[in-house]
Amino acid sequence: MAGDPLHAALLARLERELTTLPDKPEENAPATLAALWHLAAGEPLSAVLASAKPLPGLDDAARRRLESLVERRLQGTPLPHITGRQHFLGVEMLAGAEALIPRAETQILARAALERVRECLAAATEPPVVIDVCTGSGNIVVALATHAPGARYFASDVSAEAVELARRNAAFAGVEHAIEFRTGDLLQPFEELAGRADLIACNPPYISSPKVDALPPETGAHEPRIAFDGGPLGIRILNRLVSEAAPLLRTGGWLVFEVGEGQARGMRGRLAASRAYTEIDERTDAAGSGRVVCGRRGAEASR
């Protein structure tokens, strides 16, 4: 807020002391202050949405709250855990310690999945079946149900706490009627859908166990380890996903999943070696690193 001494002082402090993690580029000092300012005024907003709105006036009590909120943030509490909000693919969502905070790079996965779902909707004579596994906060399936209504959406996570947050997110976004949530290990909750899925999307744990131990405190101390830990080499869940998804996909159905930096080439090879997938490709981030791998189930796989 131009001309407000408190705004100027807090912004200067955040610019000096705040560390913006590479996977949360939207949480720069001005956006962080905007989100905390709105929260102090009684309106919880994500950094993205708060940055797009004018700042309200604050009374003395709200100004004291704001200073306390800035202190919490600088002590390492993730911004979405303070505000209870995160923005993902144009949808404002709830955030909490129950699940991974949605990252900007996961929008690459969501956009790839959305493209496939819209193709299915355009060609289908009945609602396509879309499954989101390792759903976490439900950000992917909620975004898909918001932007591509008309499909039958299913989502699951091994964490009951994450599934409860995902349910609340669906209700918060007004799409709870469109999604069926389940709790269980990877694709196990969907055995009755064998051969019927048009798309399976997944943002699995893909960081190696030693690297999880070395995550920044803001991440490692506040977000569930289960959402990051992909085993000794980081590919334990990825390998299971490739093999377990194939029986659920119909011929022509798509598996679309996120991978870590440096993993795309190996996972494309894993898809090809399985002989269940055709039209294997990847989506890259702004730096040209493969971050999403896609494979289409071929006719041979279903024989």
- Would you state the pLDDT for residue 31? 98
Same domain, 224 and 292: yes
Same domain, 204 and 58: no
SS3 58: coil
Same domain, 74 and 159: no
Instruction: Give the type of residue at 213.
Output: D
Same domain, 153 and 194: yes
Same domain, 128 and 256: yes
Domain assignment of residue 38, yes or no: yes
Length of the chain in terms of residues written: 303
- Would you state the pLDDT for residue 10? 97
Pairwise CA distance, residues 205 & 185, whole Å: 13
Q: Quick one: DSSP state of residue 129?
A: E
- Would you state the pLDDT for residue 212? 93
- Would you state the pLDDT for residue 235? 94
Q: What is the pTM of this model?
A: 0.94
- Would you state the pLDDT for residue 302? 44
Same domain, 223 and 114: yes
Domain assignment of residue 291, yes or no: yes
Write down the residue that tokens 């807020």 correspond to. Answer: 1
Same domain, 172 and 28: no
**Interior/surface letters 9-33, b for 16+ CB within 10 angstroms, e for the rest:** ebbebbeeebeeeeebebbbbebbb
Same domain, 76 and 110: no
Its domain, for residue 179, covers 106-302
Same domain, 54 and 12: yes
- Would you state the pLDDT for residue 167? 98
Q: Read off the CATH number of the domain in which 162 is found.
A: 3.40.50.150
Phi then psi dihedrals of residue 23, to 5 deg: -85, 5
DSSP bridge partners of 197: 249
List per-residue pLDDT tens for the chain, 303 residues long: 667 899 999 999 999 999 999 989 999 999 999 999 999 999 999 999 999 999 999 999 999 999 999 999 999 999 999 999 999 999 999 999 999 999 999 999 999 999 999 999 998 789 999 999 999 999 999 999 999 999 999 999 999 999 999 999 999 999 999 999 999 999 999 999 999 999 999 999 999 999 999 999 999 999 999 999 999 999 999 999 999 999 999 999 999 999 999 999 999 999 999 999 989 999 999 999 999 999 999 975 443
Number of domains in the chain: 2
DSSP bridge partners of 249: 197
- Would you state the pLDDT for residue 2? 64
Domain assignment of residue 206, yes or no: yes
Alpha helix (H) residue ranges in 90-203: 106-123, 139-147, 160-173
Same domain, 174 and 42: no
Same domain, 209 and 288: yes
